[in-house]
């Protein structure tokens, strides 16, 4: 991949400092490009922000598409059934890590991802660091659960158009992994730990991933002062969705979307809010945070109605196409 992706500075030299924090060899390569990726389908709906517990499925609506997510399950040595949900900031960053690894290795078609041997390295690679420089006991538990969850994630996407007399129905099932082998001891992940991606999912990521700015992802998921100490997945969800919508808008013949209502946005992002006005309040705050790291973003907020996205400069610069000599 070409090292030609740039974007506007945020708070002076913050971007340079952010990129220096990563230590993984491949992640350093990505940081020099300031480009990460996320499967576009995962840009279109939000995963849970907190652990849904024993909930059987998680549903989100995007237009006429229904996304139904099923968790991973396993039985421990006491014959207790456990439900493992992919949720929160860690879940989202792991999906970005997987998508980005695919884009790094898409030329050689490598389906098997080898996990970093230490939890500390994995945390640093996806952008989570502790003041002590070492993972906590809670980190160890959360990452073990999250790795199991991402390995067993099962998503169903259905689209229905029509009525009882005529119409169409389409469905798509996809899983992240065909097989996984994850081993651990104390706070170490074995160097034999792997996630073998489904070939269909590998191809889907390779062909349909949205480019993201590494510094924007870091700022929106950290406790950096620019986001006023917030470290929530909601801001990242909004950034990823707007990146995907803007990318589609750029490649369409139009300059703006049709109005997207608060009801539609709430079904997609925040139907956990009891009142629409609470969702709208959150949405506006998150939009402000996204615009801090993506100042060229042009979103028109229509009070009492919703938003209109106008074609904007990308948060990552488009790659230059090779020219003939």
pLDDT in tens, 7-42: 332 333 333 333 333 334 444 444 444 789 999 999
> What is the per-residue pLDDT for 321?
52
Ranked by mean pLDDT, the top range of 23-37, 169-183, 221-235 is: 169-183
Which region holds residue 167: left if phi is over 0, alpha if psi is between -120 and 50, else beta?
left
More confident residue, 231 or 280: 280
Stated as kind and residue range, the H or E segment containing 285 is helix 276-293
95-117: average pLDDT? 88
Rounded to the nearest integer, the mean pLDDT of the chain is 80
97-109: average pLDDT? 88
CA triple 7-24-10, angle to 5 deg = 25
126-145: average pLDDT? 79
What per-residue string of b and e applies to 220-259 under the rule 16 or more CB within 10 Å gives b?
bbbebeebeebebbbbbbbbbbbbbbbbebeeeeeeebee
C-alpha span between 94 and 176 (Å, rounded): 11
């Amino acid at each position: 991949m070409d090292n030609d992706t740039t974007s506007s500075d945020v708070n002076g030299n913050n971007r340079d400092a952010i990129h220096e924090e990563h230590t993984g060899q491949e992640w350093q390569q990505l940081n020099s490009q300031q480009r990460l990726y996320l499967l576009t389908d995962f840009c279109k709906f939000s995963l849970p922000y907190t652990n849904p517990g024993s909930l059987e499925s998680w549903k989100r609506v995007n237009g006429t598409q229904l996304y139904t997510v099923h968790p991973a399950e396993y039985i421990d040595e006491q014959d207790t059934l456990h439900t493992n949900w992919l949720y929160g900031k860690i879940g989202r960053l792991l999906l970005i890590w997987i998508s980005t690894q695919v884009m790094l290795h898409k030329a050689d078609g490598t389906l098997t991802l080898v996990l970093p041997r230490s939890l500390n390295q994995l945390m640093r690679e996806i952008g989570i660091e502790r003041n002590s420089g070492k993972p906590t006991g809670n980190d160890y538990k959360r990452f073990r659960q999250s790795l199991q969850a991402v390995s067993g994630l099962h998503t169903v996407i259905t689209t229905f158009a029509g009525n009882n007399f005529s119409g169409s129905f389409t469905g798509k099932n996809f899983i992240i992994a065909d097989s996984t082998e994850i081993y651990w001891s104390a706070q170490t992940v074995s160097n034999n730990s792997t996630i073998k991606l489904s070939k269909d999912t590998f191809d889907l990521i390779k062909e349909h991933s949205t480019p993201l700015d590494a510094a924007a992802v870091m700022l929106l998921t950290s406790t950096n002062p620019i986001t006023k100490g917030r470290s929530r997945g909601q801001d990242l969800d909004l950034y990823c969705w707007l990146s995907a919508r803007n990318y589609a808008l750029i490649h369409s013949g139009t300059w703006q979307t049709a109005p997207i209502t608060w009801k539609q946005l709430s079904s997609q992002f925040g139907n956990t809010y009891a009142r629409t006005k609470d969702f709208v309040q959150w949405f506006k705050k998150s939009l402000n945070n996204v615009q801090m790291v993506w100042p060229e973003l042009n979103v028109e907020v229509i009070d009492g109605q919703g938003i209109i996205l106008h074609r904007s400069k990308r948060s990552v610069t488009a790659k230059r196409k090779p020219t003939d000599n």
